[in-house]
DNA sequence: GGCAATCTTGACAGAGTCGCTAAGGATTGT
DNA sequence: ACAATCCTTAGCGACTCTGTCAAGATTGCC
C-alpha cells in the first residue's frame, strides 16, 4: 500500500548494481548500503522472480540487471516490493463494493488525482535517471569543495 | 506515516460539515458517510484537540468548523489524523543518525522531492476547493443526464 | 427539574504488516 | 573438493490499522 523501507532498499540496492557495472553479491551490497544481509536476500528474491534481475551463482557471482537501467523505473521496483501505491481504495476497478456516489465524490476524485501524480513520477524515473542525478550531486559537492579550498588558500 | 482511512474519513467528514452549513452530529455524519460511529468520534476527538473543529453540545448539537473552509487544507487534516506524510526518513532534520552520504545520495534526493510534491498538493487544496470540485462534478452528471434524456425522448 | 440528545474519554482487541533474524539447502566457478 | 554465492522457508516481536465496547459528562428543551 505505502512505500516502505523494503521498496526503498530495493531501489538503493539496484542503483548500487548500476554503479558497479558488473555482478554484485548481496554480501557486498549489504556492506555498501548498510542493509541487513538476510533482509536484502529476501528483497532480491522478489526482484528475481519478477524478472528485474538475474543471478550469477558461485564464486565471484552476484546479481545483475536483466534489462538496461533506463528501462527499469522506480515505480516498477516499488510495485514489486511494496505493492501498488494507493492513497484510497474506492476508486480502483477491483474494488467490489461499488459506491453509488462514485461519480460525484470530490474526495475520491482528489485522492485518485494525487495517486496518478505520484505514480506518474514513479514510473517516469528510471535507475539510469537516478544514476545521473547522483553524478550531478557529486559534481556539485566537488565544485563546492573547490570553492572552499580557494577561500582557504 | 502514510495516508490511511482515518485521514481520509476525516476529510470526508469535514467536507460533510462544510456542505451542511451548520452543526452536524457524529451520528448524522456516520449515516451520511457510512463510517462507524465510535471510530468517527475518535477522529473528531483529535480534530477538536487540534482546534480544527468546535463542539456544540446538547440536543441539536454537533460539530462545526472553527475556521472558514478555505483556510483548512487537506494536508492539515491528514497531518493531524495520520501524522506527517513521509516517503523516506533519512532526509528529515529530526533523523538523528546523520548519513555521511547525505549530500550525494540520489535516492534520498528523489524521495525528498516526491514528498515535497505531495505535501504541496495536500496543503494547496482546501475544504472549500473540495466543495467546489464536488459541485462541479454534480453539474457534470446532471448535464450528462440531460443529454441521455434528450436521446431517450 | 427531568429527560433525552449529544459529546468525551479510555480501554481494548483482532487482524495484518513491517522489518528483520535464523537455519539450512542448492548451485556454481575454480 | 571446496568455497562462494544464491535460494527457500519459517518465525517473531513490535507496531499500526480499524475499529468495538462501556461509561461518564454536559447541554438543550419541555
Check whether residue A60 has its CB closer than 7 Å to nucleic acid strand C. Answer: yes
Q: Which of A60-69, B14-23, B88-97 has the lowest mean pLDDT?
A: B88-97
Residues 27-66 of B with CB under 7 A from strand C: 27, 38, 41-42, 44-45, 48-49, 55-63
Res A21: pLDDT: 83
Question: What is the arithmetic mean of pLDDT over A54-71?
Answer: 91
Question: What is the arithmetic mean of pLDDT over B81-100?
Answer: 72
Residue of A nearest to B12 (CA): A107
User: Residue B55: beta bridge partners?
Assistant: B63
Element housing A62 (H / E): strand A62-65
User: Residue B5: beta bridge partners?
Assistant: none
CA distance A55 to A60: 11
CA of A27 to C1' of D2 (A): 19
Q: How confident is the model at residue A149 (pLDDT cuts 50, 70, 90)?
A: low
CB contact under 8 A, A110 and B1: no
Q: How far is CA A112 from CA A71, A88, A107, A115, B110, in A?
A: 26, 7, 8, 5, 22
Question: Does residue A147 surpass a pLDDT of 80?
Answer: no
Question: What is the arithmetic mean of pLDDT over A42-59?
Answer: 91
Q: Which of A25-29, B81-85, B108-112, B147-151 has the lowest mean pLDDT?
A: B147-151
Question: Does residue B72 surpass a pLDDT of 50?
Answer: yes
Reduced 3-state DSSP string for B29-95: HHHHHCCCHHHHHHHHHHHHHCCCEEEECCCCCEEEECCCHHHCEHHHHHHHHHCCCCCCCCCCCCC
Question: Residue A67 has which C-alpha cell?
Answer: 534489462
Instruction: Please list every residue in chain B whose beta carbon sits closer than 8 Å to the beta carbon of residue A31.
Output: none
How many residue contacts between A and B have a Cβ separation below 8 Å? 77
Shortest Cα distance from B134 to chain A (angstroms)? 5
Res B153: pLDDT: 47
Question: Does residue A76 surpass a pLDDT of 60?
Answer: yes
Strand D nucleotides, any atom under 7 Å to a protein CB: 3-10, 16-22, 25-29
Q: Which of B106, B107, B121 to mutate to test the interface with A (most CBs of A within 10 A)?
A: B106
| β A62-65/A53-56 pair status | antiparallel
Question: Does residue B32 surpass a pLDDT of 70?
Answer: yes
| Intra-chain end-to-end CA distance of chain B, in Å | 53
Amino acid at each position: 500500500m505505502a512505500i516502505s523501507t523494503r521498496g526503498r532498499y530495493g531501489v538503493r540496492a539496484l542503483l548500487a548494481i548500476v554503479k558497479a557495472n558488473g555482478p554484485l553479491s548481496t554480501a557486498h551490497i549489504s556492506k555498501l548500503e548498510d542493509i541487513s544481509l538476510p533482509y536484502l536476500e529476501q528483497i532480491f528474491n522478489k526482484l528475481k522472480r519478477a524478472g528485474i534481475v538475474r543471478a550469477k551463482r558461485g564464486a565471484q557471482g552476484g546479481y545483475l540487471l536483466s534489462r538496461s537501467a533506463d528501462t527499469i523505473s522506480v515505480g516498477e521496483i516499488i510495485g514489486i516490493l511494496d505493492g501498488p501505491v494507493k492513497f484510497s481504495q474506492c476508486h480502483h476497478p477491483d474494488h467490489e463494493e461499488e459506491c453509488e456516489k462514485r461519480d460525484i465524490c470530490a474526495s475520491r476524485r482528489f485522492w485518485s488525482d494525487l495517486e496518478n501524480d505520484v505514480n506518474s513520477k514513479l514510473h517516469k524515473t528510471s535507475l539510469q535517471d537516478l544514476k545521473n542525478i547522483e553524478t550531478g550531486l557529486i559534481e556539485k559537492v566537488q565544485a563546492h569543495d573547490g570553492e572552499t579550498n580557494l577561500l582557504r588558500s
